[in-house]
């Protein structure tokens, strides 16, 4: 069943014709060509596909594009103000060596921002480690990701984002 779908992605109105079964992540990657959002496990375990829908983090591999009709979607591509100026959380990952191969990083960053906002910037190591239950990384052992998010939380608060 082909349907039309319209939503806002990173502040821009977008629309397309999709099959009902098209996942949000497929719509982003294959219809809009925005490949920053990754597909890792495709079973809602790994979190590589995390985006924000109406302000909260969701796994875009487990949501239909048509379910996002009328929603505001933010992907990793929508965070940085410009190519020169990264979002404070992205910058924190860079500064703290919070990635190795980088495959999980878009999802990690999107989950981290939602986590920090949900706790009103007051995150602890314990909150971060529990808060990352839905994101898998096979390179880092998580240590530098946790470090990055703790630093990113402070930077977000200072920047007021």
Partner 1 sequence: MYDFAYHKPKSVADASAAVKKASEGKLMAGGMTLIPTIKQRLARPSDVVDLGGIGDLKGIKVDASGVTIGAMTKHAEVAASADVAKAIPALAKLAANIGDAQVRNRGTIGGSVANNDPAADYPAALVGLGATVHTNERKIAADDFFKGMFETALKDGEIITAVSFPVAKKAAYMKFPNPASRYAMVGVFVADTAGGARVAVTGAGPGVFRVKDMEAALGKGWSADAVAGIKVPAGGLNNDIHASREYRAHLVTVMAKRAVAAAG
Given the rule CB under 8 A, which residues bind partner 1? 1, 3, 19-21, 23, 42-45, 47, 50, 56-59, 62-64, 66-67, 69, 111, 114-115, 118, 131, 133-135
Shorter beta-carbon distance to partner 1: residue 82 or 120: 120
Smallest separation, CB 147 to partner 1 (Å): 20
For residue 19, which phi and psi values (nearest 5 degrees)? -75, 155
Shorter beta-carbon distance to partner 1: residue 95 or 134: 134
Chain centroid to CA 123: how far?
Answer: 18
Shorter beta-carbon distance to partner 1: residue 98 or 107: 107
Q: Give the DSSP H/E element, type plus range, for residue 159.
A: helix 143-159
End-to-end CA separation in angstroms for the chain: 40
Shorter beta-carbon distance to partner 1: residue 84 or 133: 133
Question: Are 146 and 97 contacting, i.e. CB atoms less than 8 angstroms apart?
Answer: no
Smallest separation, CB 123 to partner 1 (Å): 12
Smallest separation, CB 1 to partner 1 (Å): 5
Distance CA 126, CA 82 (A): 32
Chain centroid to CA 73: how far?
Answer: 10
């Amino acid at each position: 069943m082909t349907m039309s779908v319209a939503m806002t992605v990173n502040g821009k109105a977008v629309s397309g014709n999709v099959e009902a079964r098209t996942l949000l992540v497929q719509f982003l990657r294959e219809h809009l060509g925005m490949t920053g959002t990754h597909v890792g496990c495709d079973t809602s375990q790994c979190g590589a596909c995390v985006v924000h829908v109406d302000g909260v983090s969701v796994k875009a591999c487990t949501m239909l594009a048509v379910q996002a009709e009328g929603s505001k979607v933010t992907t990793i591509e929508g965070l940085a103000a410009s190519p020169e100026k990264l979002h404070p959380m992205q910058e924190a990952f860079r500064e703290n060596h919070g990635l190795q191969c980088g495959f999980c990083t878009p999802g990690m960053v999107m989950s981290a921002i939602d986590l920090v906002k949900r706790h009103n910037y007051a995150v602890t190591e314990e909150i971060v480690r529990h808060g990352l239950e839905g994101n898998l990384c096979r390179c880092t052992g998580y240590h530098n990701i946790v470090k990055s998010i703790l630093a990113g939380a402070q930077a977000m608060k200072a920047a007021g984002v």
